[in-house]
Structure 1
Amino acid sequence: MSAEVHEFQVEARQLLQLMIHSIYSNKDVFLRELISNASDALDKLRLQALRNDALGADVSDLHIALEADAQARTLTVRDNGVGMSRDEVVALIGTIASSGTAKLLKELKDTKDADAAAGLIGQFGVGFYSAFMVADEVTVVTRRAGESQGTRWTSRGEGTYSVESVGKAPQGTAVTLHLKPVDAENQMHDYTDGWKLREIVKRYSDFITWPIRMPAHATTPADMDSGSGAESSEPAEAALETVNSMKALWARSREEVTEEEYHELYKHLAHDWLDPLETVRLQAEGTFEYQALLFIPSHAPHDLFTRDHRRGLQLYVKRVHIMDDCEELLPPYLRFVKGVVDSQDLSLNVSREILQQDRQIQMIHRRLTKKVLATIKDLMTSAPDRYATVWREFGPALKEGLLGDDGNRDTLLGLCSFASTHEADEPATLAQYVERMKDGQEEIYYLTGDSREAVENSPHMEAFRAKGIEVLLLTDPVDEIWVTTVPAFDGKQLRSVAKGTVDLEAGEQDAQTDSDRESRQKEYTDLLAWMTGVLTEDVKEVRLSTRLTVSPACLVSDTHDITPALENMYRAMGQDVPHTKRILELNPGHALVDSLNKAHTERGDDAGAGLSGIAELLYGMALIAEGGALKDPARFAKLMADHLAV
């Protein structure tokens, strides 16, 4: 079949150009990415061969080979792993099938920091494209295990690529880079230099569990200079040597492993280009033995909150890779954690179905969860800056644990930090909030909303601001849900300032205050009853407010009713939730409310359309003030215009 020419997907083409133009200054990492991809392909083939006896794949000597040709200026990274079909080549290399692509590209173009840009690229797991940092042209020859025909993919990274079928191709994938000229000033090294390749493998890929092989020759620049074996004089059939140790880092003692080695393992596992924030080791011995090496990333992946996000740890049994993304090892709210668990007691044929019921896996799940949470808790005191990073990047995910992980709920509550009216830039823990509570205050007050600005400017906050009472500002979507399931912290009830009644003067009022309230309530009784009738389609009650000091009106939910935001969330998830009417509260100290009451007193219930229109305006203004949507904006605008014209 003749070669077909295709265009890269627009986003892939843009990302390629960013790669080619040295968005990452350390070009050596291209080899780490290609070796990592080859290692993944070998893992997949071993798993498929284990589960499918009819696959017919050769798994007798799985390995990765590096083949350099100094005269032709090429470097080939070859594996005999699972390989790709023609359709897979187009799907995996020609497109970026991931949500959030446009956002990523914008962030890449806006960032001025090369390392930050590299981190953004790492989120997409498109390390293959890094080959174009060092190559003018890249050729991929691949054949999927179990298939007879191979595929050749070629591109210069300039917007198009060609794909053609090839009759003879070995099982696996060979990526050949036609290297750019050596340019020391721009960090373009000679990647046909055997010593340089060994250096990169040792630094980035020494822990890979598959052998990485190269022709045996001099291993240091000094050896080369002494004439003991120049690259160009190697025989065509040079003996091969394995250049990585293949030692599992989690099986070695802490003293044997450097921090840099841990970081490189993390980058291999997570396909990230930045170092992890924290490394967590755990070793269990006795009747049930396993080792775990976990990493807390320094940034959230772009798809952390999408259905496409792949979560879970790599599972090994006796150093044999069993599966990627083993979801049973950690709860969903810790899906950002990467790492490896190696068990000595599980079966090599373990399946996901078996894992869901396995007692040992459940034990690992509990211990790993507690270990990760304990690590984050330790950071709160030992490294506040790193804790702040964890909470900024993963706080919304951690709060999901408050919904279902009853066994760790108290620990999670202790880890939570929230924006607060106490201090603009410093989030508050619940413990700090309780410590600052005013004398006589028995509840932890909070308000949910779409943004900090919207919450801070909410009419519901007026009395709390006037009294200097701290309020937590909860603006993550998950906040709307977890606050309904967490009743208290440290014996203090959590209370929304937008629900139920509020009496901030309880305990300090005297007989005169009580008398004033009773008098005011009596003064407004007729107006409140009339307005409840006028607005009966929209509200369940109209009453006087004790939470307003400036605004004329606000809408509140009954104590046990769900909020409009939660209603909308349930509907977005396909649940049929009945509409819940709310309560309209009026500020009797506001001139508009006072004048409306006087007019109603003069005219009675037959006040006419004019006063009814003002009642509708008060309801509409309260709805707008909290960010709600008017049912009939045109009618509201007309009522406002008519009232202003009087």
Structure 2
Amino acid sequence: MTTTPETRKFEAEVAQVLHLVTHSLYSHKEIFLRELVSNASDACDKLRFEAIAQPDLLAGAGELHIDVSADREARTVTIRDTGIGMSRDEVVENIGSIASSGTRRFLEAMGSEQKADARLIGQFGVGFYSAFVVADRVTVLTRRADAPAGEGVKWESDGRGEYTLEAVELPERGTTVVLHLKDGEDEFLEPWTLRSLITKYSDHVAFPIRMPKDAPGANAGADANAGTDGEAGAQEAETATAAAPAWETVNDASALWTRPKAEIGDEEYQNFYKALGHDFNDAAAWTHNRVEGSQSFTTLLYLPSQPPFDLMMGGRDERKGLKLYIKRVFIMDAAEELLPNYLRFVRGVVDADDLPLNVSREILQHNRQLERIRGACVKRVLDLIEKLSRDEPAKFDAFLKAFGNTLKEGIVEDAGNRERIAKLLRFSSTKGAGEARDVSLDDYVGRMQEGQDAIWYVTADGHRAAAGSPQLEAFKARDIEVLLMSDRIDEWMLGHLREYAGKPMKHVAKGELPMDEAEKQKLADAAGAAAPLLERIKRLLGERVEDVRVSARLTDSPSCLAMSEWEMAPHLARLLRDAGQDVPEQKPTLEINPQHALLRRLQGEADDARATDLAHLLLEQAELAAGAPLPDPAAFLQRVNRLLAG
């Protein structure tokens, strides 16, 4: 049975992806086979899971497997699976539209990259489109396992903006993808090429991947006539397995994580990671563990060496880095149930023996057994990062560069592991080497001065702004080390990291500085001597300031801002306002250095207009140094110009 083909247009985002694939993605063309085999494996996983409740779904096509073959005469490569298959609506949803794919995030990532690269495709769930890297026409024949033979679907497209759909008779469930190769892609017609790619990318797919045993060139399921005779082509593709010579399994077809660690080499672990994470780079580290007892489960967890392209684009809301299996049956991408958000970069598998097989996402969220597995996963990951920091410092530095800010989220999200996470972080310091972030909190505590009772830090928009903050001057004069916090997340993180190793964390601009009695008396004397100057500056600035006082922080600069213990840093307030957050207005406290030439000039200035310019300039330069926006940049420039002109 066939119907007249219906022609449809791809949704705009899918058309953009196809344009990129066919015109821009040239490197690593062989990625198409990994992606299509991965899709076939997912289809088999889904069928095996649904068959737990509906055993009849497995009837008909025998064991779950994936067949890969090439037909030199027809110039086609065919990937066939006996998995769940798709209905007509699912074909439209999964291939023709954006609904179930990451196409929009893929396009955003590609737009941010100077060079497009085919290796990115799989990371966004749009792996099917990689077929068009090597094919100028793709045919899909599919039938859902729970549908009758007459509800098969044929999908076909040349990747140029449209596709056709028609109903066909398909005797068996599953999906067949036929790639009609472009000129110049003949290497993929060689069976040894296909075998080597399966070994490289898909050796540990947990279903048999089969190829014909016969000599190259035999028709092993490719659909030479699918484009001209829909019904005949469909029947040929569906009966090709029976007509073809014997098949042989060409992959390992075992779940690597179920094997003893002693039997698995580093190369096997890395190859499995690359297939699992759609990554061309090696993993930075991994941990493989089996827990036995009242609750038994296996974990294989990887730290990537480079961040996934979707880490900061929807990554917190839709995370698929960790796969949950129950007795080797794939259940779901359950990263959010198995790991907290701040560890969303982790890739791997968790295979439990004793979770209920009818588990659903709602049950997962309230399952005590899963909570114990989650706790074990968090511990294993933090153990792994700690081991990396001890044993492989260069890899650890690269890891922190890639994931340090994501890890900082754990200070807020995971109170139980707050100190462990803080121990792993690294910062720049006034005693460090330039912008190098190589100072741990333990390093800092270990070299605190005698009598020093706090860990001091400064926050700013960038390293140079932090290192040049006037609020550091008194600390430098006393040789007190200060941590330089210049990442946007730092101020938020430090709102929750109130102490470390029993030492309070203190911002150099907040609260009172520690002083002995002699220093307090010296400051009081300076404030008394400068009282008329302080009153004049308060009057000239009016409502723009909360207070003006003599600073204990300054030795070289004329002015700086000071804050109360719980006041928000100016640069953070600006960032939140820029993000559309409602932030209450805060009047700054201005601290001055009466010994500075600008203050002496202001003290002796008889012209009230010029004194007003000087007072406002003192406030505005302090605001700029603190990362606060100027309320009136034009007026600031006019003041500077008037004072420079004399």
Partner of 2:188: 191
The 8 Å contact of residues 534 and 548 in structure 2, kept in 1 or not, is answered as yes
- CA distance 1:543–1:100, change in 2 (3 Å): farther
Give 1:336's aligned amino acid: F
- Secondary structure of the 2:325 match is strand
1:536-584 Cα offsets, whole Å, 9 max, x none, are 4332111111222333211121122222344456557776442232211
The whole-number CA distance in structure 2 between the counterparts of 1:517 and 1:321 is 69
TM-score by length of 2: 0.84
| 1:631 has 2:640 as partner | no
Give 2:396's aligned amino acid: Y
- Secondary structure of the 2:406 match is helix
The 8 Å contact of residues 291 and 297 in structure 2, kept in 1 or not, is answered as yes
1:377 Cα deviation from its structure 2 partner: 0.6
TM-score by length of 1: 0.84
- Secondary structure of the 2:526 match is helix
| 1:232 has 2:202 as partner | no
Partner of 2:591: 585
Partner of 2:611: 611
The 8 Å contact of residues 283 and 291 in structure 1, kept in 2 or not, is answered as yes
1:373-399 Cα offsets, whole Å, 9 max, x none, are 011111112111111122111111111
- CA distance 1:140–1:105, change in 2 (3 Å): farther
1:102 Cα deviation from its structure 2 partner: 4.8
Give 1:495-514 correspondences, 5 Å limit. Answer: 495-502=506-513, 506-507=515-516
**Structure 1: gaps (5+ residues):** 111-116, 183-187, 218-228
| 1:537 has 2:543 as partner | yes
The whole-number CA distance in structure 1 between the counterparts of 2:426 and 2:143 is 51
The whole-number CA distance in structure 2 between the counterparts of 1:163 and 1:131 is 14
1:279-326 Cα offsets, whole Å, 9 max, x none, are 211111011111111111111112223335532521111111111134
Aligned residue among 480, 498, 502 for 1:469: 480
- Secondary structure of the 1:554 match is strand
Give 1:515-530 correspondences, 5 Å limit. Answer: 516-530=522-536
1:498-543 Cα offsets, whole Å, 9 max, x none, are 222335xx35x85xx6665443211211222343344343321111
The 8 Å contact of residues 9 and 95 in structure 1, kept in 2 or not, is answered as no
1:472 Cα deviation from its structure 2 partner: 1.5
Q: Percent identity?
A: 40
The whole-number CA distance in structure 1 between the counterparts of 2:22 and 2:639 is 56
1:448 Cα deviation from its structure 2 partner: 1.4
Aligned residue among 87, 90, 97 for 1:91: 97
- Secondary structure of the 2:549 match is strand
| 1:355 has 2:361 as partner | no
| 1:641 has 2:641 as partner | yes
Partner of 1:13: 19
Partner of 1:598: 604
Partner of 1:482: 493
- Secondary structure of the 1:482 match is helix
Give 1:219-618 correspondences, 5 Å limit. Answer: 229=215, 231-232=217-218, 236-309=243-316, 310-311=318-319, 313-421=322-430, 422-424=432-434, 425-502=436-513, 506-507=515-516, 516-568=522-574, 576-599=582-605, 608-618=608-618
- CA distance 1:492–1:48, change in 2 (3 Å): same
Partner of 1:220: none
Partner of 1:209: 206
Partner of 2:224: none
The 8 Å contact of residues 417 and 428 in structure 1, kept in 2 or not, is answered as yes
Larger mean CA deviation between 426-435 and 144-153 belongs to: 144-153
Give 1:37's aligned amino acid: N
Partner of 1:66: 68
The whole-number CA distance in structure 2 between the counterparts of 1:532 and 1:146 is 80
1:207-237 Cα offsets, whole Å, 9 max, x none, are 21223233344xxxxxxxxxxx564398943
The whole-number CA distance in structure 2 between the counterparts of 1:520 and 1:448 is 28
Partner of 1:225: none
- CA distance 1:180–1:11, change in 2 (3 Å): closer
The 8 Å contact of residues 447 and 455 in structure 1, kept in 2 or not, is answered as yes
The 8 Å contact of residues 108 and 120 in structure 1, kept in 2 or not, is answered as no
Give 1:528's aligned amino acid: L
The 8 Å contact of residues 273 and 279 in structure 2, kept in 1 or not, is answered as yes
The whole-number CA distance in structure 1 between the counterparts of 2:109 and 2:350 is 33
1:213-262 Cα offsets, whole Å, 9 max, x none, are 33344xxxxxxxxxxx5643989432334433421111111132232222
The 8 Å contact of residues 47 and 323 in structure 1, kept in 2 or not, is answered as no
- CA distance 1:464–1:54, change in 2 (3 Å): farther
The 8 Å contact of residues 462 and 550 in structure 1, kept in 2 or not, is answered as yes
Larger mean CA deviation between 134-143 and 472-481 belongs to: 134-143
Give 2:555's aligned amino acid: T
- CA distance 1:69–1:233, change in 2 (3 Å): closer
1:620 Cα deviation from its structure 2 partner: 1.6
1:28 Cα deviation from its structure 2 partner: 4.1
- Secondary structure of the 1:502 match is coil
The whole-number CA distance in structure 2 between the counterparts of 1:103 and 1:28 is 21
The 8 Å contact of residues 402 and 409 in structure 1, kept in 2 or not, is answered as yes
| 1:175 has 2:182 as partner | no
Larger mean CA deviation between 5-14 and 406-415 belongs to: 5-14
Give 2:466's aligned amino acid: V
The 8 Å contact of residues 423 and 441 in structure 2, kept in 1 or not, is answered as yes
The 8 Å contact of residues 122 and 273 in structure 1, kept in 2 or not, is answered as no
The whole-number CA distance in structure 2 between the counterparts of 1:359 and 1:95 is 32
- CA distance 1:54–1:252, change in 2 (3 Å): closer
Partner of 1:113: none
- Secondary structure of the 1:580 match is coil
Q: State the Cα RMSD in Å.
A: 3.3
1:94 Cα deviation from its structure 2 partner: 12
1:264-286 Cα offsets, whole Å, 9 max, x none, are 32223222222211121111101
The whole-number CA distance in structure 2 between the counterparts of 1:564 and 1:12 is 46
The 8 Å contact of residues 103 and 126 in structure 2, kept in 1 or not, is answered as no
Q: How many residues align?
A: 606
